Amino acid sequence: MLLQVASASQALPIVAVAMLRGRPTPAPYLRIGLWCCLLLLSDATDLYITSRHISNLWTGYYTVPMEVGMTLWILSAWQPEGAPRRAYILGIAATGAAIGSTLLLTDPQQTFDVWVSPLAALVAFSAVLHTLVTRTLRSREALVHLDWFWICLGMAVFWVVQISTPALMTAFMDTHRELVIRVLLVRSAIAIAGYVCIAWGVVCLQVPPR
């Protein structure tokens, strides 16, 4: 049940963006909506492939690079003009090329969950953390009233669990299946908290501070 709730909670930021209808929607919000649409589409694709009794392990080869690239795209809108923003945009192409080359030059079934996916998640997490720290150091306002703070916090929560869990589940899938199930449940609970933070970040500026 928790897994289904986690999957459905990916729609929370989309709903939050839709609630801004009638107002100018900032570019990061639109990109967040597209990112969450990609997450929902990825889950729906996995469910459909599984229902056809076909392995869905290969879908991550395509979705993970897109999710990382879209994360960098979202964060680029919160970088100062000039070199930082260009670095994030170039990072999209560089990360995609690195992941694609690794998948072509190695056996993805052996390397993706153990190395490629965790390292890709680490890139995204590092970018989120960099944005969160640099903007925090420059901010003179209360962080709890700022949209980028909650959104970056939610995205950091999302990506941090993606760093370790794929390799952990791969290592213990055959020998400790109950442990893998618990890891999935914990990851789902953490992911829900992340989506709630992101959705709140989208709407928080519309709520008058007390």
From first to last of its 210 residues, what are the pLDDT tens digits of the chain?
A: 777 888 889 999 999 999 887 667 888 999 999 999 999 999 899 888 988 888 777 888 999 999 999 999 999 999 987 888 999 999 999 999 999 999 999 998 888 988 899 999 999 999 999 999 999 998 888 888 899 999 999 999 999 988 887 767 776 676 777 877 888 888 889 999 999 999 999 998 776 555
CA distance 105 to 122: 21
User: Are 32 and 13 in contact, with CB atoms under 8 Å apart?
Assistant: yes
Counting every residue written for the chain, the total comes to 210
For position 17, what pLDDT does the model report? 92
**Which tokens hold the place of 115?**
């190395």
For position 177, what pLDDT does the model report? 75
For position 176, what pLDDT does the model report? 74
CA distance 168 to 164: 6
CA distance 166 to 108: 13
List of long-range contacts for 121-124, beta carbons under 8 Å, 24+ apart:
121/64, 121/68, 121/159, 121/160, 121/162, 121/163, 121/166, 122/163, 123/68, 123/91, 123/95, 124/67, 124/68, 124/71, 124/72, 124/155, 124/159, 124/162
Q: Would you list the domain boundaries of the chain?
A: 2-206
For position 210, what pLDDT does the model report? 55
For position 152, what pLDDT does the model report? 96
Q: What is the pTM of this model?
A: 0.90
Measured between alpha carbons, how far is residue 30 from residues 24, 73, 99, 103, 123 in Å? 10, 11, 26, 30, 22
